[in-house]
Structure 1
Amino acid sequence: MDETAARAAALAAGRPGDVRLRRVGLSRAGTPLWLLSVGHGTRQALVVAGPHANEPVGGATVLRLAERVLADPRLTEGADATWNLLLCLDPDGLRHNEGWLTGPYTLGRYFRRFFRPGFLEQPEWLPEGADAAALPETRALLRLQDELKPFFQCSLHGVDVGGGFVELTRDLPGLAQRTAHAAARLGIPRELGPYDTLYWPRLGPAVYRIPPPSPRDLAAAITEAAVESTWYHPHRYGTVTAVVESPMWGVAAVEDASPPADRDAALRTVSRTLRHDTRLLERLLTRVRPHLPGTPDAARLLAPVDDYLLVCPGLATAWDPDTADPAHPLPPLSTAHLTALRIAGRRIAVRTAGLLHQLVTGAGHDPAGALPELDGLIDRWCADYHDGCQARWIPVARQVEYQVRVVLAAFELAGRRAAGPARSGEPDWGTRPAVPMHRE
């Protein structure tokens, strides 16, 4: 967080006529929420980094975007646009992840230091509607959306294991091709069947339509994210929102669109594994919980543990062909879908184990004797990602460059959508040649 804010301040100090840095709110812990604005156009673009605490790539992406925009007047004067870059929406949560940000980048290190708050503490969600938004970070973003009325909004996310994909509140024809080009150039697998979008309309390969918000229970909201959110809040202004996911560890099989050899057998394996892992973790939590009073951050770490364990049984039931509700059948599934479901089931389990590991180590003692078992589970499940799924680390510079290219492509297409037919010779910012990258 400190490095991101310092670099943004240096950009503003170096180009005061073109760049402004202002505080738009405070986090729950009193950390400033900084907005970096570039350009003086009448049309506003809003890019939000760090909405999920464990997905830090957006902070590097907004800094790269600021540099790219400053270097190319076609992105400001030429597009009559101002870029508004929110450096981090959840700075408090990001600080809880700083233990793994310096590397080495291994799955075991990441999950043992992983933090993501419980669903009700994630600032993009509006489970009770905008008027009842409780988090100061959420209220700050809502105020900013109402002030700017952006024609284009982008939320920057980072898949821990899997591939890149985009979610849209309005269709942007051509984005799937631009995304495919960027992914191919940078060696980023595209996720052709993300768990998040299993029931959502597909606009193109690795591009999905976010359904309008509708009343749902908490479990559905956690797993489907189709509740009211800051993604849809500016919809009334004609805003196009793009959620851009960039992977940290890539898995090639998430872009395998071939039919699976035995769909039902694969689904039974995923569901059976999730049920088994959930029972293990519930037993561990029962042993650990009585010893946690007085442990620093116990409530903050337990909230996501309880959320994850809440949704696991329903997911296992919904994915199992022997128990799924016939009124809500699974859509046709490719190998990519089955790979994504395998990754998602394992993700919930290993995240929960990582949070329990932090609770036990934070207590300073392990009277329940849970730490060796948790270490064994984390090691085994990370090995399954690495050896079973062939998950491979993607260098930070490539994560960032992929996200920048997709954002620029979506910005251009959203601008065309708002302005009507494109002018001949309009630059294709999303597929421009690579520029020298900063060292990681």
Structure 2
Amino acid sequence: MVTRCGGKTLPPLLRYPSVDELGLRAAALVDRRPRDARLRRVGTSRAGLPLRLLSVGHGSRQVLVVAGPHANEPVGGATVLRLAERALADPRLCDGADVTWNLLLCLDPDGSRRNEGWLSGPYTLGHHFRNFFRPGFMEQPEWLPDGAAGAALPETRALLALQDELRPFFQCSLHGVDVGGGFVELTRDLPGMAPRLAQIATRFDIPLELAPYDTLYWPTLGPAVYRIPPPRRGDLAAAITEAAVESTWFHPHPYGTVTAVVEAPMWGVAAVQDPSAPADTEDALRAVTRTLRRDTVLLQELLARIRPCLGTAGDVDRLLAPVDDYVLVCPGIADSWDPDTGPGTDADGAARPLPPLATSGLTALRISARRIALRTAGLLHQLVTATGQDPYGATADLDRLIDAWCADYHDGHGARWIPVARQAEYQTRVVLAAFDLARHRGPVPGPAARPLGMPATRAEVPFE
């Protein structure tokens, strides 16, 4: 659809939108339909960028959709614009359902700006990872490592306030998988989600992950649909690798909210949906863990060479934070997967063996191990490039590793690029399917509503 703003024609969105373009296109939509759409500022980022909420419809029941919670996952921006157009075009989604759609255009605009080096293409793995940015765990606005009351980031506080203001019956967090397949995570069951997801994925030729690394220990509600476990406190490594920590996904749970986390892949890998039994699971796991340990040692050596030349500028610190996170967790991940070192442990220290793994699960582990290494190498490459200091020749080594590891994704896993328009349409239809199931779901009993702006305590949350 062609959009006009201030007399200018905006072309159809075929690439990932930048933060500025998201605001421009949302404003154009409001100009076109001022009675049905509103745009307001609901917060400010750490760098002073506005957090904008696009609301469509006038219903009493609220839907909240959050785009851009992870800075390196830009598909959600394209998706919220599509959702706004659909809601304006189809009365059954707004007035007919007594619903208002509240679309947060980008939760982390600061981090998203740092990814704009690859957003417009070319869409190659090497270009992506050399320009990739994702902040360290403590700077990711959906996580609540100190609980809602201790939320430090202004982006997080803005989202929490919005959740308490709206009390949505349905909330959706839009995420992207760099390499792999699509899947959905839910805080409450939505019976019928799995077949709808399968139908949409088949129509758009999107592989579905039958055993994503994120959900390795989580309950399965159906193929590629997973139940997010109740949050619990854990150490940093557990939080980074499992995401089963306190988060904005569960914050509105006392209101009866159903939260859906919808993951859409950039590069698809067919084997993530292969249910066949592997020839030798233990040998395959040994190979994965050997590779991860070897790659970690290489990266640690490169980091030791690079760090003394970096200085202490703020930009350096932001790039180093995720590098240090990744290097921290890699040894523990390898130990937890290695059949010769015994099962891993949960945050309480209890033994937790790996679940049975089909080819899909082993593929997901291989992809995840390679992902950690590639992200680390890409960030190190940016650090060296940004400082212009490379007395030890690290750039050539990093280029060699990035090229080899991207080739492994492309040649070893058959990773294939999925056009942005198809990613966004797939994610849009999954959101609408989950919304349809959630709006026909009966009310969920919960505690008495707390005053607006008051955080939920752990004891208040009625986990099912």
- Please state which band the TM-score falls in when normalised by the shorter chain: over 0.9
Q: Distance in 2 between matches of 1:67 and 1:187?
A: 23
- Partner amino acid for 1:346? R
Tell me the equivalent position of 1:164. Answer: 182
Identity among equivalent pairs (%): 76
The answer as to whether partners of 2:310 and 2:389 remain within 8 angstroms in 1 is: no
2:363 corresponds to 1:345: no
Tell me the equivalent position of 1:365. Answer: 389
Compared CA separation, residues 295 and 131, structure 1 to 2 (3 A): closer
Residue 130 of structure 2 is aligned with which of 112, 125, 128? 112
Residue 219 of structure 2 is aligned with which of 190, 201, 209? 201
2:435 corresponds to 1:418: no
The CA deviation at 1:418 is 3.2
The answer as to whether partners of 1:296 and 1:363 remain within 8 angstroms in 2 is: no
The CA deviation at 1:77 is 1.1
TM-score, with normalisation over the residues of structure 2?
A: 0.90
2:17 corresponds to 1:17: no
Tell me the equivalent position of 2:405. Answer: 381
Give CA-to-partner distance per residue, 1:389-440, whole Å, 9 cap, x none: 00000000110010000000000101111369xxxxxxxxxxxxxxxxxxxx
The answer as to whether partners of 2:207 and 2:273 remain within 8 angstroms in 1 is: yes
Q: Distance in 1 between matches of 2:392 and 2:159?
A: 42
The CA deviation at 1:364 is 1.2
Tell me the equivalent position of 2:23. Answer: 5
The answer as to whether partners of 2:309 and 2:389 remain within 8 angstroms in 1 is: no
The answer as to whether partners of 2:337 and 2:343 remain within 8 angstroms in 1 is: no
The answer as to whether partners of 1:295 and 1:362 remain within 8 angstroms in 2 is: no
2:207 corresponds to 1:227: no
When the two chains are superposed, the root-mean-square deviation of aligned CA atoms in Å is 1.0
Q: Distance in 1 between matches of 2:141 and 2:314?
A: 22
The answer as to whether partners of 2:186 and 2:227 remain within 8 angstroms in 1 is: yes
The CA deviation at 1:260 is 1.0
2:275 corresponds to 1:263: no
The answer as to whether partners of 2:256 and 2:443 remain within 8 angstroms in 1 is: no
The answer as to whether partners of 1:168 and 1:208 remain within 8 angstroms in 2 is: yes
Give CA-to-partner distance per residue, 1:57-100, whole Å, 9 cap, x none: 00000000000110000000111100000000000000000000
The answer as to whether partners of 2:187 and 2:228 remain within 8 angstroms in 1 is: yes
Tell me the equivalent position of 1:240. Answer: 258
Tell me the equivalent position of 1:318. Answer: 336
- Partner amino acid for 2:229? P
Q: Distance in 2 between matches of 1:320 and 1:54?
A: 29
Deviating above 3 A after TM superposition, structure 1's stretches of 4 or more consecutive aligned residues are none
> How many residues end up aligned between the 2 structures?
420
Give CA-to-partner distance per residue, 1:189-212, whole Å, 9 cap, x none: 000000000000000000000000
Structure 1: give runs of 5+ residues left out of the alignment: 421-440
The CA deviation at 1:256 is 0.2
Please give the secondary structure, in 1, of the residue aligned with 2:440: helix
Give CA-to-partner distance per residue, 1:319-374, whole Å, 9 cap, x none: 01101327311111110000000000000000000000000000113112100000
- Partner amino acid for 2:371? R
The answer as to whether partners of 1:178 and 1:409 remain within 8 angstroms in 2 is: yes
Structure 2: give runs of 5+ residues left out of the alignment: 1-18, 345-350, 445-464
The answer as to whether partners of 2:343 and 2:354 remain within 8 angstroms in 1 is: no
Residue 78 of structure 1 is aligned with which of 96, 99, 108? 96
Q: Distance in 2 between matches of 1:79 and 1:368?
A: 63
Please give the secondary structure, in 1, of the residue aligned with 2:364: helix
TM-score, with normalisation over the residues of structure 1?
A: 0.94
The answer as to whether partners of 2:267 and 2:417 remain within 8 angstroms in 1 is: yes
The answer as to whether partners of 1:160 and 1:248 remain within 8 angstroms in 2 is: yes
Q: Distance in 1 between matches of 2:158 and 2:431?
A: 22
Tell me the equivalent position of 2:114. Answer: 96
Please give the secondary structure, in 2, of the residue aligned with 1:160: strand
Give CA-to-partner distance per residue, 1:170-207, whole Å, 9 cap, x none: 00000111110000000000000000000000000000
Please give the secondary structure, in 2, of the residue aligned with 1:156: strand
2:49 corresponds to 1:31: yes
Tell me the equivalent position of 1:428. Answer: none
Please give the secondary structure, in 1, of the residue aligned with 2:442: helix
Q: Distance in 2 between matches of 1:184 and 1:335?
A: 20
Q: Distance in 1 between matches of 2:352 and 2:33?
A: 55
Give CA-to-partner distance per residue, 1:204-239, whole Å, 9 cap, x none: 000000000112111101100111000000001000
Q: Distance in 1 between matches of 2:433 and 2:296?
A: 41
Tell me the equivalent position of 2:271. Answer: 253
Q: Distance in 1 between matches of 2:313 and 2:274?
A: 45
- Partner amino acid for 2:434? A
Please give the secondary structure, in 2, of the residue aligned with 1:177: helix
Q: Distance in 1 between matches of 2:183 and 2:95?
A: 29
Q: Distance in 2 between matches of 1:371 and 1:296?
A: 21
Residue 123 of structure 1 is aligned with which of 141, 148, 164? 141
The CA deviation at 1:253 is 0.2
Q: Distance in 1 between matches of 2:70 and 2:125?
A: 18
Q: Distance in 1 between matches of 2:175 and 2:243?
A: 14
Q: Distance in 2 between matches of 1:140 and 1:419?
A: 26
Residue 358 of structure 2 is aligned with which of 334, 359, 365? 334
Please give the secondary structure, in 1, of the residue aligned with 2:201: helix
Residue 151 of structure 2 is aligned with which of 133, 136, 157? 133
